């Protein structure tokens, strides 16, 4: 259980770091735009290895982003990230999927962060393609949102690899008679998952 909670903590920490990733990207774009405006050439930044304790984006695999934390032993602890949008294109939820050390019934876990206005008594539902709906209770809420913790067996991971998309359904607290369906793309899932497992030394 301790290992699982460590992975959960990393998942939540990486969500908080999401803004930092975005801010870094915006800063880079601003600096590039400034150099183009003044006509001043800017030297390409040197590529440096992340230091222990730093988080970074290890790669993008179609609709999944692989975010990693560099450990003191030089290895990476990584997780797969995807931002979920509603039908109007508004960001609603985040999925952070990570590997779980062998020995238990689950091969992978995930934390799904939904808005604070989510109805907690209505479980989060997940359906892959046209499959059976699975229900997951919410664990807690923080300033970042409300968190549901999910565990996936090896068979369920295979289902994700073979699927086209998943549907995550949440219920708004202000409209308990309605539901919000969010599409979780499975494009790039297999490549991202295998890279994550390789970096974790589980392949």
The number of distinct structural domains making up the chain is 1
Q: Which residues of the chain have pLDDT under 50?
A: 1-45
> How far is Cα 135 from Cα 170, in angstroms, rounded to an integer?
10
pTM of the model: 0.76
Residue 194 lies in a domain: yes
Domain hosting 70: range is: 2-44+54-199
* DSSP letters for 5-60: HHHHHHHHHHHHHHHHHHHHHHHHHHHHHHHHHHT---PPPPP-PPPTT-EEEEEE
Which pLDDT belongs to residue 50?
80
Q: Which two tokens stand for residue 96?
A: 């952070």
The CATH code of the domain that includes 181 is 2.60.40.1880
Which pLDDT belongs to residue 47?
59
Residue 49 lies in a domain: no
């Amino acid at each position: 259980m301790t290992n699982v909670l460590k992975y959960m903590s990393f998942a939540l920490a990486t969500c908080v770091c999401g803004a930092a990733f975005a801010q870094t990207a915006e800063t880079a774009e601003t600096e590039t735009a400034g150099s183009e405006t003044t006509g001043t050439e800017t030297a390409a930044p040197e590529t440096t290895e992340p230091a222990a304790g730093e988080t970074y984006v290890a790669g993008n695999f179609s609709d999944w982003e692989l975010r990693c934390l560099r450990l003191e032993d030089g290895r990476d602890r990584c997780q797969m990230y995807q931002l979920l949008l509603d039908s109007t294109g508004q960001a609603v939820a985040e999925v952070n999927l990570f590997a779980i050390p062998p020995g238990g019934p689950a091969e992978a876990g995930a934390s799904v962060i939904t808005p604070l206005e989510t109805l907690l008594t209505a479980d989060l539902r997940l359906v892959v393609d046209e499959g059976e709906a699975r229900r997951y209770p919410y664990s807690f809420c923080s300033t970042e949102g409300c968190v549901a913790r999910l565990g996936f067996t090896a068979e369920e991971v295979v289902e994700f690899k073979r699927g086209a998309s998943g549907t995550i359904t949440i219920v708004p607290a202000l409209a308990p008679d309605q539901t919000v369906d969010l599409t979780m793309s499975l494009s790039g899932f297999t490549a991202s998952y295998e890279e994550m497992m390789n970096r974790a030394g589980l392949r």
